[in-house]
Structure 1
Amino acid sequence: MLSMVVAPRGSEPAVLRNADALHDAASTMKVAVLAAVHRSGLDLNAQIPVVNEFRSVTGGSYGNSPEWDSDPLPWERIGDLASVRWLAGRMVTHSSNLATNLCLAQVGQAAVARVWRQAGATASGSPRGIEDYAGRDAGVHNRVSARDLARLLDSLEPEVLALLEHNVHRVDIAAGLPPGTRLAGKNGWFPGLRHSAAVVYPADVDPYVLAVCYTGSLASGRAVDDPAARLLARISAGVWRHRHVLASCGV
């Protein structure tokens, strides 16, 4: 299943493909957690304990697995302290699962649900933490659609979007753009899926939003050498070639 939305920034979509089909959210849900942190009023410089035990939506507890985390640095701070600001940054720049659950514990699920509602999402949500397998088995799922991911990006404050510009995993959408092209986005992957959503800022036309969700056998789950990532890169390159036509569709 391939889903896609292409839209001039702040305008209605110009291209839709299975836009409302739901996919497992993977790490794209970290954007909603980031927005919740920045809207929470928390002291972002506050130091909090770095632990690996979180409350499941089922009432028990669970932890993250280092083997499934793409960022080793938060794990080096287990038993120590880290600032909310640093953890929120690692969550989206290096896609840290541990940092995500630590941030989620600070703001709570209700705040994240509010972010989705404020974005105008009609079906997407992230009601459990990452690797809360008991919650998943109980039927609580983090799911997204391409349309809702585009809406989420459109709803973000400039300072939150600015953090997404530092995503180091520059495959899929980023890989389909000319080197040095500015974009703010987040991707997510594991075996069987590869998603990416970004605001792209061409130098010669107005910015546009591209959100692509893929669930299928092409997705190897590898961070870099993933056939599904190459597919998304080709889609991104095609949208880039038509950016001037796309710009004429905006308000």
Structure 2
Amino acid sequence: MIFAGLDAHLDRMPGTVSAYLASLDATPTWTRHPDTTHYAASTMKVAVLVALYRALEAGRLAPDTAVPVRNEFDSAQPGAARFSCTRPVHTDDDVWDQLGGTAPLCWLAERMIVRSSNLATNLLLDQVGLPAVADVWARAGARHSSTGRGIEDLAARAAGITNLVTTADLAALLRGLARGATRPGPLATPESCAAMLDILVAQEHREDLAAGLPAGTRIAHKNGWVRGVRHSVGVVYPDDAPPYVLAVCSTGDHPDHRPDEDACQLIADISARAFAHRHRLG
């Protein structure tokens, strides 16, 4: 087993590290706790993106829709007060600068992915609705992942409503997009899948999965992080081998466990090892 040594190393680490590695058309080469649920962080934004493109295809939304940019949202907890996002430091300033005005729907989708904008995510969730995101997970074949609330919906979180992912489900979602770009599939048309992959390729946060790859390697990916949590999932397109999907979720036992830079390095190391074995993933 090409990852036996890595499994032994991860077994000695505190916290939980899950992983799923497979070519696009084969059974997985390596899995580790693939059905263990983790708090989703920003990886759930891929499912929101797919829900948006499905709404565009169905004509329920138009690409040039001008979305009012506000920072007040309905809670997923019935009867709870409306909630707001906290403006982060040095991140998605472009979206926050539009407060009080409007922004194009598809521009918000891009900012949700390439800069991981939480404000853009909640604005898009308002447009597509949580049931549409649940439908995306079901279409991808996800078994344990769910998107129950918007970001920073504290009342819903206190009520136990949360967002969960597994590496198996994240891999299924990204694999569905990659396969769907070349032939009709359950998520969206080939044109829409290709467009979503292009957005994921433009991801600007490249300090985990992408950091483990040779410079210039194409990867369509999305990561997510909060204190004690670092996840990343992507489709890698080597120049000399078929594409493959890799998902890694790392969750610490407590908020001070494994600083983010260490978790990034761990995921980069796993990514580098997967790339080194790219010819044996079929």
> TM-score range with shorter-chain normalisation?
over 0.9
Superposition deviation, residue 158 in structure 1:
2.0
Give, in whole Å, the separation in 2 of the partners of 1:102 and 1:54.
8
Q: What is the root-mean-square deviation in Å for CA atoms of aligned residues?
A: 1.2
* 1:159 match: 195
Question: Residue 40 of structure 1: SS of its match in structure 2?
Answer: helix
Superposition deviation, residue 219 in structure 1:
4.1
Superposition deviation, residue 102 in structure 1:
0.3
Seen in structure 2, the aligned counterparts of structure 1 residues 46 and 219 have a Cα distance that, compared at 3 Å, is farther
* 2:210 match: 174
Question: Residue 29 of structure 1: SS of its match in structure 2?
Answer: helix
Question: Residue 7 of structure 1: SS of its match in structure 2?
Answer: strand
In the alignment, residue 166 of structure 2 is paired with which amino acid?
S
What per-residue deviation string (whole Å, max 9, x for no partner) do you get for residues 174-197 of structure 1? 000000100000000111010000
Among 57, 63, 87, the residue aligned to 2:76:
57
Among 216, 227, 230, the residue aligned to 2:262:
227
Superposition deviation, residue 138 in structure 1:
0.2
Give, in whole Å, the separation in 2 of the partners of 1:193 and 1:69.
20
Q: Does 1:45 align with 2:64?
A: yes
* 1:28 match: 43
Give, in whole Å, the separation in 2 of the partners of 1:230 and 1:101.
29
Superposition deviation, residue 82 in structure 1:
0.2
- Using the TM superposition, name which of 172-181 and 69-78 deviates more: 69-78
- Number of matched residues? 243
Contact persistence 1:149–1:197 (CA under 8 A): yes
- Per the normalisation by structure 2, the TM-score is 0.84
In the alignment, residue 63 of structure 1 is paired with which amino acid?
S
Runs of 4+ deviating beyond 2 Å: 67-70, 217-221
Seen in structure 2, the aligned counterparts of structure 1 residues 62 and 10 have a Cα distance that, compared at 3 Å, is farther
* 2:273 match: 238
Among 74, 78, 82, the residue aligned to 2:103:
82
In the alignment, residue 98 of structure 2 is paired with which amino acid?
R
* 1:144 match: 165
Superposition deviation, residue 220 in structure 1:
2.8
Q: Does 1:200 align with 2:200?
A: no
Give, in whole Å, the separation in 2 of the partners of 1:11 and 1:148.
15
* 2:23 match: 8
In the alignment, residue 205 of structure 1 is paired with which amino acid?
A
In the alignment, residue 276 of structure 2 is paired with which amino acid?
R
In the alignment, residue 158 of structure 1 is paired with which amino acid?
A
What per-residue deviation string (whole Å, max 9, x for no partner) do you get for residues 149-206 of structure 1? 0001112222211210000001110000000100000000111010000000000010
Contact persistence 1:218–1:228 (CA under 8 A): no
Seen in structure 2, the aligned counterparts of structure 1 residues 219 and 111 have a Cα distance that, compared at 3 Å, is farther
Identity of aligned residues (%): 49
